[in-house]
Amino acid sequence: MPDYSHTETTQVDLRLKTKVIDNSFYLFINKIQSDRTDKLNVFDLLTLDKVRQGISTNLPESSVEKLQLEGLLKSQSSADKKYVLGDLYYEIAQQPAYIKEYRISDLQIVAGCFEKAKEVSMKDFVDAFDKLLTREQIRYLISKMEDDFLILKGGNGRWTKYYVNQQFDVGQNIFEQFTKMLI
């Protein structure tokens, strides 16, 4: 809840307390802002935070263009509308943004689906991504994972189900197995 206890009759003092969820993101934003004379606006900051969360839909185009030009946002290709934060963030976090052409966050979500169930439908994937990606982006991702033999497809139409590669041990961490197969 907001703290108004320092408010006076002529001035409102509003204080919001929060916890830092992602220390690397906090350091990333502080580094960017401290190096700038013109600070990022609230829409730019919100766009960066959405991308940090893995959201690549409904982002303000003007912020995306600006942040890409400055190297604060990246996508795998010009046709790819799935974004990751700039290299500085991943240097601070000491982790990669991609393994081959896959975003780490996308692999984690798909792996999570298979850790919940042995067979997964496209609807399950769409629900798991919860508007982070469009249905077309999810379909493309799953198709690419099929091409790389990370997952297998069975059935047709609405009865299509997806399974992890038979080489994987379903009782083990699926995400780690995905990454091992890709590296």
Structural domains of the chain sorted by starting position, each given as residue range(s) with its CATH number in brackets = 23-95 (1.10.10), 102-182 (1.10.10.10)
The pTM for the full model equals 0.67
pLDDT at residue 25, as a whole number:
92
pLDDT at residue 78, as a whole number:
63
Distance of CA 133 to the CA centre of its chain: 9
The span from the CA of 126 to the CA of 132, in Å, is: 9
The span from the CA of 83 to the CA of 129, in Å, is: 14
User: Structure tokens of 46?
Assistant: 């919100």
HEC-encoded secondary structure of 103-121: EHHHHHHHHHHHHHCCCEC
pLDDT at residue 79, as a whole number:
66
Residue 71 is given by DSSP the state: T
Q: What does each of the 183 residues of the chain score in pLDDT, given as a tens digit?
A: 788 899 999 999 988 888 878 889 999 999 999 988 999 999 999 999 999 988 888 899 999 999 999 999 998 766 667 899 999 999 998 888 888 888 888 999 999 999 898 999 999 999 999 888 889 999 999 999 999 999 999 998 889 999 998 888 887 888 888 988 888
Residues 6+ apart with CB under 8 A from 71: 86, 87, 88
